[in-house]
Chain A
Amino acid sequence: DQQVKQNSPSLSVQEGRISILNCDYTNSMFDYFLWYKKYPAEGPTFLISISSIKDKNEDGRFTVFLNKSAKHLSLHIVPSQPGDSAVYFCAASAISSGSARQLTFGSGTQLTVLP
């Protein structure tokens, strides 16, 4: 039962153009959504997040959009740069058993930005 899905395993875009990465979720209990970036041989690094009470959050070149009715979020990167080439994980956050906040990750999208 995949509660967070990233249906595109890979995406290639030209440098300077927009990259759009998509994510769908099923659990209505998720109240925060995050994007992490992962380079080979490194751990995931936090990129940007959005609360479920918002529909947009922007940080420099990165914008995350949330459509709660569709249970869909997307990450826009404008303009895309070769250094953005990495695996991008969508994650959703909810309070789990006890008081732990647990992240549920999608399977990732490999973004390649072509020079």
Chain B
Amino acid sequence: ETGVTQSPTHLIKTRGQQVTLRCSSQSGHNTVSWYQQALGQGPQFIFQYYREEENGRGNFPPRFSGLQFPNYSSELNVNALELDDSALYLCASSFGTLNTGELFFGEGSRLTVL
């Protein structure tokens, strides 16, 4: 059984740039959620993808966008990076959208915006 994998693990960008983070879901899982974890805080829900469409969104601006592919892998794109976007970005997979909350998380992509 392959777990959730994310890439890259670390990256540094400058303010105003764009970034793409990638996630492969655990085998058998068809739903991907993205979370942002700022330093010293808990993860915050960005959005969820199911059947290649956004299925729910947290309190994040439109410059945060995503994609899900037919193999259930996913991308998170952030445009016009701001300093406050520096965080650990976590991808989590599950089966179905009404899962009670047991998610399988990857190790995360740590983004630093200078």
Do B105 and A44 touch (CB < 8 A)?
yes
A95 / chain B contacts, CB cutoff of 8 Å: 98
A4 within 8 A of B: yes
Residue from the set B40, B43, B58, B97 with the largest chain A CB neighbour count within 10 Å: B43
A49 within 8 A of B: yes
Residue from the set A97, A102, A107 with the largest chain B CB neighbour count within 10 Å: A102
B24 / chain A contacts, CB cutoff of 8 Å: none
Could you list which residues of chain B lie within 8 angstroms of chain A, going by C-beta atoms?
A: 4, 33, 35, 40-45, 47-48, 50, 54-58, 90, 92, 97-108
Do B45 and A45 touch (CB < 8 A)?
no
Q: How far is the CA of A6 from the CA of B42 in the complex (A)?
A: 10
Could you list which residues of chain A lie within 8 angstroms of chain B, going by C-beta atoms?
A: 4, 6, 32, 34, 36, 41-46, 49, 51, 89, 91, 93, 95-108
A6 / chain B contacts, CB cutoff of 8 Å: 42
Do B48 and A100 touch (CB < 8 A)?
yes
A42 / chain B contacts, CB cutoff of 8 Å: 107
Do A106 and B56 touch (CB < 8 A)?
no
Residue in A93, A97, A99, A106 whose beta carbon sits within 8 Å of that of B101 in the complex = A93
